[in-house]
Structure 1
Amino acid sequence: MSSKLETVGIAKRYGEAVALEPTDLTVQAGEFLTLLGPSGSGKTTLLQMISGLVSPSEGRIEIDGRDVTHVEPGKRGIGMVFQSYALFPHMSVWDNVAYGLRMRRKSREQTREAVDGALAMVRMSEYAKRFPKELSGGQQQRIALARCFAYRPSVILLDEPLGALDKKLREHMQAEIRRLHKELGATFVYVTHDQDEALTLSDRICLMNHARIEQVGTPVDLYDRPATRFAAGFIGHSNLLEGAVGEARGAGGEAILLAAGGRVPLPEPAQPGLKGCLLVRPEAPRLVEPKQGYFDGTVSDIVFFGSDTRVQLTLSDGSQINVRCERSLKPRLGDTVGLTWDPHRTTLLSA
């Protein structure tokens, strides 16, 4: 797979304020890469510099090996979809989609073919003569996508395009965007602060924090093998158990000593005395009889989620751990239970 988009040392400062530290990022052709992070992490600043809407303080941007750092936005071959839709209220759906093609001086035949194809792609052909005010939020977002797709840009930037939609419609549009990405074969760079959205859509995720890249990897990499405590806490639900590495009793290598008094086998050897925390996802632990697991806890809360039940356990040192249980298990508040899990489903993060 060849490189489509690359930033080399790209950075942005506003006086003393740093919006983005010098950043290197490569996006492969046809890839769906998501920029994920909390507000103020630098993800939107990075997207805006790629689009040309914001000028970098230093560094360069390359598309297909061509330096476009100082090329105006309309000549970069990039399409952009915003959260606000940005549709023209006085134009029909068809004319909204055709607008970008007319600005690029495409012929009538080329425009008609491209608009009809884009509307068919987002399944909105029957709405061609309507106006934006006659459409739902999800339909307006489809038109915004069609307008971008109509002129077939090779790089498509999407800035939190589903942020204004309700949960059910957002999930539906996620499926639509996945389908459209496969059909177009274009390179997508998508900004969101929603971790579930990033895990659902992405080939790779670029996790950002404090104006810099924290970790880049596949959704599985970031979920199962986070590189930092921030990544472990931001992606998915996590239990972080503080402790120090010590000798395991009997065969089996190393163990982490927990403040709660248990000894938990680690997924791989580690230096004795090393302080850190063990990441345990809620779906990994199993409830067992007291004294039969790595340590015991007291059931302090139970929440029903439909497909499963979330159980919160309070440990002897006052810390808490959350466990996702099958519905068939029916622990009761106040019960004392043991906890165990497969060590290979955990990750040790250094302090």
Structure 2
Amino acid sequence: MSAKLEAIGLTKRYGDTVALEPTSMTVQAGEFLTLLGPSGSGKTTLLQMISGLVAPSAGRIEIDGRDVTHVEPGKRGIGMVFQSYALFPHMSVWDNVAYGLRMRRKSREDVREAVEGALEMVRMSEYKGRFPKELSGGQQQRIALARCFAYRPSVILLDEPLGALDKKLREHMQAEIRRLHKELGATFVYVTHDQDEALTLSDRICLMNDARIEQIGTPADLYDRPATRFAAGFIGHSNLLEGALADTPDASGEPILLVAGGRIPLPRTAKPGQAARHTLLLRPEALEFVEPKRGFVDGRIDDIVFFGSDTHVQLSLPDGSELTARCARTLSPRIGDTVGLTWDPYRTTLLHA
């Protein structure tokens, strides 16, 4: 892959307020990169600077190796899809999709072919004569996507485009966006605060926090190997066990973490460092139940919640720590029972921040 888009030392300040710390990242050609993070993390500011809607305070932006930092938005060769759809209410679906092409002074035949292709791509050809008020929210979102896709930009920016949709429609549109990305082969940069959406759509996720990049990686990287405590807590459900490192390793040479009266082995790849306390990340699906005293630690079952496809079990450890286990629908232990807890040490992550 070659670099399609690069942010190099990109920074934004509003007076004394820093909206984005100096930030550098590379997006590969054809990649689907999601900017994920809570409100105020800097993700929308970064997207707006890439689009040209906001001028950076420092740094530069390159597309295909060309410096576009001070190039106006319409000449950067990018498309933008907003959460609010931004459709013209007085124009038909056809005219909304054709608008950008006409502004670029395309021929009538080119406009016709591009609009028909874009409407077919989003499966809205039969609605070309309708007006936005005659469409549902999901249909309006499809038209906003078609308008962007019609002139085939090589970089497409999407700013929380599904935020206004209900859960079922949002999941449907996620599948549609993923399909369209594959069909177009364009580079997508997508902003969301929804971690499930990011995990579903992305080739890579850029997790942002406090106006800076916290971690960049594949969805599996961020879920299985979060670099910081914030990343562990923001992506997926996290069980965080805090304890002290044992003075001596176990018989196999693996380091041991002392937690809630138990001795928890860490993978040899873990690098505990010199801190007095350490935090271990354990995902709910990694936990397994065994007989009491036969696992790494014992826990008391406080609650059992049925979710349809699986069951979530809330447990408390002797030191007051709480864990969540995710297991099959059938479960023999009951609320109030004490169980042993075990897991594969290589499915855990030792956190360092």
**TM tier, smaller:** over 0.9
Contact 1:245–1:270 (Cα < 8 Å) also in 2: no
- 2:352 alignment partner in structure 1: 350
What is the percent sequence identity of the aligned residues? 81
- 1:11 alignment partner in structure 2: 11
- Kindly tell me the number of residue pairs found equivalent between the two proteins: 350
Q: Deviations over 1:143-190 (max 9, x none)?
A: 000000000000000000000001110000000000000000000000
Aligned residue for 2:71, secondary structure, equals coil
Q: Deviations over 1:290-320 (max 9, x none)?
A: 1110011111111110011000001111110
- 1:169 alignment partner in structure 2: 169
- AA of the residue aligned to 1:288: V
1:133-212 matches, within 5 Å, as 133-212=133-212
Structure-1 separation of matches of 2:38 and 2:225: 20
1:278 to 277, 280, 288: 280
- AA of the residue aligned to 1:338: G
1:50-199 matches, within 5 Å, as 50-199=50-199
1:303-342 matches, within 5 Å, as 303-342=305-344
- 1:301 alignment partner in structure 2: 303
After the TM superposition, which parts of structure 1 deviate over 3 Å for at least 4 consecutive aligned residues? 269-274
Q: Deviations over 1:43-80 (max 9, x none)?
A: 00000000000000000000000000000000000100
Structure-2 separation of matches of 1:94 and 1:330: 59
Aligned residue for 2:295, secondary structure, equals coil
Structure-2 separation of matches of 1:157 and 1:233: 27
| CA 1:272–1:89: 2 relative to 1, 3 Å | closer
Structure-1 separation of matches of 2:70 and 2:334: 63
Q: Deviations over 1:87-134 (max 9, x none)?
A: 111111000000000111101000000000000000000100011111
Displacement after TM superposition at 1:244 (Å) = 1.9
Structure-2 separation of matches of 1:105 and 1:45: 31
CA RMSD of aligned residues (A): 1.0
- 2:252 alignment partner in structure 1: 251
Displacement after TM superposition at 1:273 (Å) = 5.6
Contact 2:158–2:190 (Cα < 8 Å) also in 1: yes
1:208-223 matches, within 5 Å, as 208-223=208-223
Structure-2 separation of matches of 1:16 and 1:144: 36
Structure-2 separation of matches of 1:290 and 1:119: 61
- AA of the residue aligned to 1:306: G
Q: Are 1:288 and 2:295 an aligned pair?
A: no
Structure-1 separation of matches of 2:241 and 2:325: 13
Displacement after TM superposition at 1:261 (Å) = 1.1
1:233-248 matches, within 5 Å, as 233-246=233-246, 247-248=248-249
* Long gaps (5+) in structure 2: none
Structure-2 separation of matches of 1:289 and 1:227: 33
Contact 2:301–2:335 (Cα < 8 Å) also in 1: yes
Q: Are 1:46 and 2:61 an aligned pair?
A: no
